[in-house]
Amino acid sequence: MLHRERRLFTMVFLTTKMMQRTALFVTFGSFVTSLVTAFLPLWKTMNSDLNEVENWFSGLWLTCLYTDERGIQCKAYDSVLGLPLDLQISRVLMLISIGTGAFALLAAFPGLEGVGMFVGQPGVKRGLLIFSGVLTWLSGLTTLAPVSVLAYTTVVEFWDEGFPDAMPRWEYGEAMFSGWFGGLGLVIGGTLFFVAVCMGDYDLRPPRALNSPQVKHRSKHYLKTEVL
């Protein structure tokens, strides 16, 4: 009975259609996380021991100051060329991540089973899913790269012995952790698309294995054993 329930669970949930929708769901959630991360001014935070009422926040596009009296005030960077090189590269990579992630979702939807597009053309649907998987991988890697680079530079600057001990230093912000989470989720979503493609190829293979001489020989052997 337990074996039958496990088999039924596998047949219901571990199907090509369910795997495709799982990949799409993971990709969509991770894409939204990366999109929000790109515009959050919480990549780095700085709190001063000398002035505890001021909290500084820095992102790819804005720098914000929070005080108890005035609340939060944000200002865009004055010059793009005056930004550090790692920040400029991070901007470009995050924009690439957003673009490739959006195209991946648009390409994956018509390639899903049950969607009334490209009906009777399994090759086209398979190609769309592969293309979506590649774009999702690229979106995930271009999200992980800028977050990791800025995290590295933040650590290097934090432990720089050239700065006085009393000078406040930048630390990790919440957006960095959400960026790692979103980028890793995109990589997992792209992998699930490839798993769905492999499952679809397995379902479409011809049933030649059931008619092979080895299987027939084994079935006869089992029948003789039952008679004995």
Neighbour-count burial of 195, counting CB atoms closer than 10 A to its CB (0-12 exposed, 13-18 middle, 19+ buried): middle
**What does each of the 228 residues of the chain score in pLDDT, given as a tens digit?**
545 544 444 444 478 889 989 999 999 999 999 999 999 988 988 876 656 667 888 889 988 888 877 888 888 888 777 888 889 999 999 999 999 999 999 999 998 887 777 777 878 888 999 999 999 999 999 999 999 999 998 888 777 766 666 667 778 888 999 999 999 999 999 999 999 998 877 766 666 644 555 545 554 444 444 443
pLDDT value at residue 11: 46
Q: Is 152 exposed, middle or buried (0-12, 13-18, 19+ CB in 10 A)?
A: exposed
Task: Find out whether 77 and 14 touch, Cβ atoms under 8 Å.
Answer: no
pLDDT number for residue 201: 75
Contacts with 223 (C-beta within 8 Å, 6 or more apart), sequence order: none
Domains of the chain: 16-42+81-160+167-201 (1.20.140.150)
- Return the pLDDT at 141: 96
pLDDT of residue 34: 95
Residue-by-residue DSSP string for the chain: -HHHHHHHHHHHHSSHHHHHHHHHHHHHHHHHHHHHHHH-S-SEEEE-SS-TT-EEEE-SSEEEEEETTTEEEEEE-S-STTS-HHHHHHHHHHHHHHHHHHHHHHHHGGGSTT-SSSTT-HHHHHHHHHHHHHHHHHHHHHHHHHHHHHHHHHHHHHT-TTS-TTS---EE-HHHHHHHHHHHHHHHHHHHHHHHHHHHHHHTS-S-GGGSHHHHHHHHHHHHHHH-
